[in-house]
């Protein structure tokens, strides 16, 4: 197997783009990544696209062919594959591309993630997102993603492993970094009081505990590590990619205050990369709901159970403040949550940090970075570890 490098990254701004189409934002991100890799585009011999639900959001299926067509790659008959895994769609697409390059099946691959969500009303959008749960035994019974994460939050508060204030502080952390990211949907800090007093969604979670509805796209270019220098001096190594699964329904888990797929996938990733959690200096985690941030830091091994919330509350997850900077992009909460794009956007942020190009949110001397992408309530999880070269 060959080592793999990221040689180019690109992303659109995230937000509500009423005047733009799915294809236009997808192409923009891809062209930025190709240009960043100093390629013409003719070198690309594989295309992987993360997307959750274009069939419902924009009434367009077969988007792999759509992107291949409008990027000009269909002219060269470049194979394109669309990947769907709920909120982990972009993360899984990235993993498929890494394996394709590592195995030698492809040599230079473009990985894209895109979602155009705001063309629909809120009820339709949330119903579509709830389809990433068990449709028969959860969504069909009136449960929503928000209510399931609220149950997790309630259980953690009951067990004494998190307080309501600690859960809310995850959103404060994301908005702190989002204010430093010119591409974020929300570029404004929020106070703990603002989060706590926001309108109720599913007790104890409020509006500011939940990621927004977003349009956006992100892309990266991969090639064998040994060939990276032919294209650019600014590249990073993909040290590990792993993926884990768990039961689709949250009720079938022995413990809802930990995502077993994250625990298993991260431990394998550390072993493959030859590092431990303490070596990670920047992490992009899946905070679609604030309580998920606490789950992630504990499951990834950054903090013991009961300590992650305190780290958020005390500001230790901010750039320059603690052992690992968390969601320097603004995370899903502040950067935005275009579902299929999220996993790839996390890779973009970590790569920019490791290349020293994150501007005001730069983590000093970042050597290793991690991205965690989650589908549903932890039923699909990807872990990617990248290393500065």
**227 and 258: one domain?**
no
Task: Encode pLDDT of 56-94 as tens digits.
Answer: 999 999 999 999 999 999 999 999 999 999 999 999 999
Task: Encode pLDDT of 228-261 as tens digits.
Answer: 999 999 999 999 999 999 999 999 999 999 999 9
Nearest-CA neighbor of 83 among 114, 109, 126, 124? 114
Q: What is the CATH number of the domain that holds 289?
A: 3.40.47.10
Residue 227 lies in a domain: yes
Residue identified by tokens 């204030």 is 165
**106 and 223: one domain?**
yes
**204 and 220: one domain?**
no
Task: Encode pLDDT of 37-51 as tens digits.
Answer: 999 989 999 999 999
The pTM for the full model equals 0.96
Task: Encode pLDDT of 11-21 as tens digits.
Answer: 999 999 999 99
Residue 126 lies in a domain: no
**176 and 209: one domain?**
yes
Stretch 293-301: mean pLDDT, rounded? 98
Task: Encode pLDDT of 111-137 as tens digits.
Answer: 999 999 999 999 999 999 999 999 999
**205 and 224: one domain?**
no
Decide if pLDDT at 322 tops 90.
no
**68 and 193: one domain?**
no
Decide if pLDDT at 354 tops 90.
yes
Residue 98 lies in a domain: yes
The pLDDT mean for the chain works out to 96
Residue 220 lies in a domain: yes
Range of the domain at 138: 132-213+239-388
Nearest 5°: phi and psi at 27? Answer: -65, -40
**311 and 328: one domain?**
yes
Q: Which of 180, 202, 236 is the last residue of a domain?
A: 236
- Please say whether the dihedral angle defined by the alpha carbons of residues 369, 352, 240 and 177, taken in this order, is positive or negative: positive
Nearest-CA neighbor of 95 among 296, 292, 354, 381? 381
Residue 6: which residues within 8 A CB-CB, separation 6 or more? 220, 221, 222, 235, 236, 238, 347, 351, 386
Residue 357 lies in a domain: yes
Residue 362 lies in a domain: yes
3-state SS, residue 271: helix
Parallel, antiparallel or unpaired: strands 4-11 and 380-388: unpaired
**112 and 186: one domain?**
no
What is the pLDDT at residue 77? Answer: 95
Residue 148 lies in a domain: yes
The total domain count for the chain is 2
């Amino acid at each position: 197997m060959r080592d793999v490098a990221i040689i180019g990254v690109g992303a659109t701004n995230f937000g509500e783009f009423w005047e733009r189409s799915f294809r236009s934002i997808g192409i923009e991100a891809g062209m930025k990544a190709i240009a960043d890799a100093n390629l013409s585009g003719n070198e690309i011999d594989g295309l992987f696209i993360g997307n959750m639900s274009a069939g419902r959001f924009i009434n367009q299926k077969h988007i792999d062919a759509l992107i291949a067509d409008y990027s000009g790659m269909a002219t060269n008959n470049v194979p394109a594959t669309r990947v769907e895994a709920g909120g982990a769609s972009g993360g899984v697409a990235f993993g498929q591309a890494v394996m394709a390059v590592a195995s030698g099946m492809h040599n230079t691959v473009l990985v894209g993630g895109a979602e155009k969500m705001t063309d629909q009303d809120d009820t339709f959008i949330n119903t579509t997102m709830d389809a990433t749960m068990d449709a028969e035994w959860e969504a069909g019974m009136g449960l929503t993603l928000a209510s399931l994460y609220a149950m997790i939050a309630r259980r953690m508060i009951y067990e004494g492993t998190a307080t309501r204030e600690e859960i809310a502080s995850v959103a404060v952390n994301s908005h702190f970094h989002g204010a430093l990211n010119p591409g974020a949907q929300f570029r404004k800090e929020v106070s703990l009081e603002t989060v706590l007093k926001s309108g109720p969604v599913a007790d104890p979670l409020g509006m500011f505990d939940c990621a927004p509805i977003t349009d956006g796209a992100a892309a990266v270019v991969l090639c064998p590590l040994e060939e990276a220098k032919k294209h650019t001096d600014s590249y990073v190594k993909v040290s590990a990619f792993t993926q884990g699964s768990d039961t689709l329904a949250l009720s079938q888990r022995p413990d809802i205050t930990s995502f077993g797929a994250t625990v298993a996938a991260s431990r394998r990733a550390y072993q493959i990369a030859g590092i431990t959690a303490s070596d990670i200096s920047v992490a992009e985690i899946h905070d679609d709901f604030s309580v998920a941030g606490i789950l992630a830091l504990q499951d990834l091994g950054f903090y013991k159970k009961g300590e992650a919330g305190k780290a958020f509350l005390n500001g230790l997850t901010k750039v320059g403040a603690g052992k690992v900077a968390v969601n320097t992009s603004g995370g899903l909460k502040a950067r935005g949550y275009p579902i299929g794009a999220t996993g790839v956007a996390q890779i973009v942020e970590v790569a920019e940090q490791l290349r020293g190009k994150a501007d005001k949110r730069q983590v000093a001397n970042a050597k290793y970075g991690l991205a965690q992408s989650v589908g549903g309530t932890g039923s699909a999880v990807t872990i990617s570890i990248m290393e500065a070269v």
